[in-house]
Chains A and B, each alone.
Chain A
Amino acid sequence: MADNDTPLIDELEKGPWPSYIKEIKRAAKKNAAAKDLLGVQELSFQERITHWKHGGIVGVTGYGAGVIGRYVDAPDKFPAVEMFHTMRINQPAGWFYTTDALRKICDIWEKYGSGLTNFHGSTGDIILLGTNTKSLQPCFDELTEAGFDLGGSGSALRTISCCVGPARCEYSCIDTLDICANLTQEFQDEIHRPRWPYKFKIKISGCPNDGVAAIARADFTIIGTWHDTLRIDQDEVRKYVKNGFDIRGLVTEKCPTKALAWDDKELKLNLRTADCVRCMHCINKMPKALRPGVDRGATILIGGKAPIIKGAYLSWVLVPFMKMEPPYDEAKVLLRKIWEWWDENGRSRERIAELIERMGLKTFLRAVDIKPVPQMVFKPRANPYVFFD
């Protein structure tokens, strides 16, 4: 393929932002699959139709997840990408790597695949793009030798992901990294061998800022929070105000429940703890003066998902406060009860949220032995892809 054979995708190289076309062209200099990939993309742009098929039987021995079969529908035109399977590799909790580990992954992938990667996929995994069926097993063998394992795909527990949590963030109310690693080890079988009606995702955010957008993306959402009261350093609050900080306009009037009030005479920020919904807005605005409480744990939510059978859902509260301490047995017991009920009652490709809506929240709560509480606001809920200014 000549350099000027791809006028449509070449448009994507223009502009001040990174370009995946530019990167694939770099890879194409030493890899035939990357070169054909450009051709497939150009053809798709010309015809406005995908030329990829996915699914079928591909995998490594003992695993039913972690490899997504992909095939081009015009192998005569693009023989180097006749098979272009994706491998999903379970990322370390919080996405921390040594450069040595990254080099190992890249060396293995240049040996067995196209050399193209995606750090990271939306589920969180390391995505290795493009290999053929016969290379899967030896590639997997070398990756496991290097200490890596496949992630989830298909109707399995998807690779669990979390924010960086206490490793870098003072707001984190739970040890997201340990929870992620612990649950990943506990549920290896559920990740590697699909057994359910459809996919199931667990994501863990250390605080209500929800750095991994768990509320919009995870069937089982764990969000760190606190049970006691917001900690207020009144001296620091006064310093903010003295330096011209608009505490009313930026904090108290933006508090969603008006739990905070600024007293001009006493020069004091007052909090009605019972009204605080722990949204983090005030802490984000005045990080030197406000901090989460000390009685920390997590809120468990259920049912976040993107549109499939039904539209997008935000997850809603299932357990308002749960202590999250190793070995996290309470969360594990709850997860197993949820899976058992979903597995028994779910239709093919039906996510847990859709099943709860079909059968009723009351039926679900009874099945998982949870008593209804006011925090379980199921509706109104809004499409997470609509933003309000």
Chain B
Amino acid sequence: MTEGVTEELKDKILKYLGTVSKAKNRDVARALEIDKAIVDKGIAELAKEDKIEYIYLGTSYIQLKQK
């Protein structure tokens, strides 16, 4: 696991994404009040685990993986 990234952080990110249709990494960091650099790493891990996906609508967003 990447330094500074915990399962707890990843759960928080997933929980937040469950409350919105899409978000920028910055929105997640602000909502969770966690350093964005750490949130970026957590989001990258979640992408590799195929739990989130990226969507492009004029700019890039993340969202929960659509099953």
The chain A residues found within 8 Å of chain B, CB to CB, are: 54-57, 59, 61-65, 68-69, 153-156, 189, 193-195, 197-198, 340, 343-344, 348-349
The CA-CA distance from A153 to B54 in the complex, in Å, is: 11
Cβ B56 vs Cβ A195 within 8 A: no
Residues of A contacting B26 with CB < 8 Å?
A: 195, 197, 343-344
In the complex, what's the smallest C-beta–C-beta distance from B4 to chain A, in angstroms?
A: 13
In the complex, the answer to whether A64 meets B40 with C-beta atoms within 8 Å is: no
Beyond A154-B60, A195-B24, 18 additional pairs, beta carbon < 8 A: A56-B57, A57-B53, A57-B66, A62-B48, A65-B54, A65-B60, A154-B54, A155-B59, A189-B40, A189-B44, A194-B54, A195-B60, A197-B24, A197-B26, A344-B36, A348-B58, A348-B59, A349-B59
Partner among A56, A193, A348 whose Cβ is within 8 Å of the Cβ of B44: A193
B54 touches A198 (CB 8 A): no
Given contacts A61-B48, A343-B36, contact A69 B43 (CB under 8 A): no
Considering the chains assembled together, what is the distance between the CA atoms of A193 and B36 in angstroms?
14
Contact assessment for A349 and B47 in the assembled complex, using a CB-CB cutoff below 8 Å: no
What separation, in Å, do the CA atoms of A64 and B55 have in the docked complex?
A: 8
Distance, CA A68 to CA B59, complexed state (A): 12
Distance A55 CA – B60 CA, assembled complex (angstroms): 9
Tell me the complex Cα distance, A153–B56, Å: 10
Q: Is B50 an interface residue (CB 8 A)?
A: yes
Q: What secondary structure prevails in chain B residues at the interface with A?
A: mixed
* CB-CB nearest 10 A-B residue pairs: A64-B54, A194-B60, A154-B60, A155-B60, A62-B48, A195-B25, A55-B56, A155-B59, A57-B55, A154-B56
User: Is the CB–CB distance between A57 and B54 below 8 Å?
Assistant: yes
Chain B interface residue count, Cβ-Cβ cutoff 8 angstroms: 22
- CB-nearest residue of chain A to B66: A57
Residues 33-67 of B at the A interface (beta carbon under 8 Å): 36-37, 40-41, 43-44, 47-48, 50, 53-60, 62, 66
A349 lies within 8 A of B58 (CB) = yes
Instruction: Tell me the bound Cα distance from A59 to B44 in angstroms.
Output: 14
Write out the residue numbers on chain B whose beta carbons fall within 8 Å of the beta carbon of A56.
55-57
**Distance between B63 CB and nearest chain A CB, rounded to angstroms:** 8
A-B contact pairs, 15 of them (CB 8 A): A55-B58, A57-B55, A59-B53, A63-B54, A64-B60, A69-B56, A154-B56, A155-B59, A189-B40, A189-B44, A194-B60, A195-B43, A197-B24, A197-B26, A343-B26
Which of A59, A154, A340 has the most chain B CB within a 10 Å cutoff?
A154
Residues of A within 8 A of B47 (CB): 61-64, 193
Task: For residue A354, give the distance in angstroms from its CB to the closest CB of chain B.
Answer: 13
Q: How far is the CA of A153 from the CA of B60 in the complex (A)?
A: 9
| A-B contacts, CB under 8 A, total | 71
Taking the nearest CB of chain B, how far is it from the CB of A248, in angstroms?
A: 53
- The winner among A54, A64, A343 for most chain B CB atoms within 10 A is A64
Interface residues of B (CB under 8 A from A): 24-26, 36-37, 40-41, 43-44, 47-48, 50, 53-60, 62, 66
User: CB-CB < 8 A to A54: which residues of B?
Assistant: 56
The CA-CA distance from A194 to B55 in the complex, in Å, is 10
A125, B4: Cα distance in complex, Å: 33
Min distance, Cβ A238 to any Cβ of chain B, angstroms: 59
Least distance between B25 CB and chain A CB atoms (Å): 4
- Closest CB in chain B relative to A337 CB, distance in Å: 12
Q: Within the complex, what minimum Cβ distance (angstroms) separates B19 from chain A?
A: 19
- Which residues of A have CB within 8 Å of B50? 61-62
B62→A64 contact, CB < 8 A: yes
User: Which residue of chain B lies nearest to A188 when distances are taken between CB atoms in the complex?
Assistant: B44
- Bound state CA distance, A289 and B60, in angstroms? 51
Q: How far is the CA of A65 from the CA of B53 in the complex (A)?
A: 11
- Whether B59 pairs with A195 at a CB distance below 8 angstroms is no
Q: Are B55 and A197 in contact (CB under 8 A)?
A: no
Q: Which interface residue of B40, B53, B60 has the most chain A CB atoms within 10 A?
A: B60
Q: Note all chain B residues with C-beta closer than 8 A to A153.
A: 56
| A55 and B57 alpha carbons, distance in the complex (Å) | 6
Of A65, A154, A195, A348, which contacts B40 at CB under 8 A?
Answer: A195
C-alpha gap A69/B40 in the complex (Å): 24
In the bound complex, residues from chain B placing their C-beta under 8 Å from that of A57 are 53-55, 66
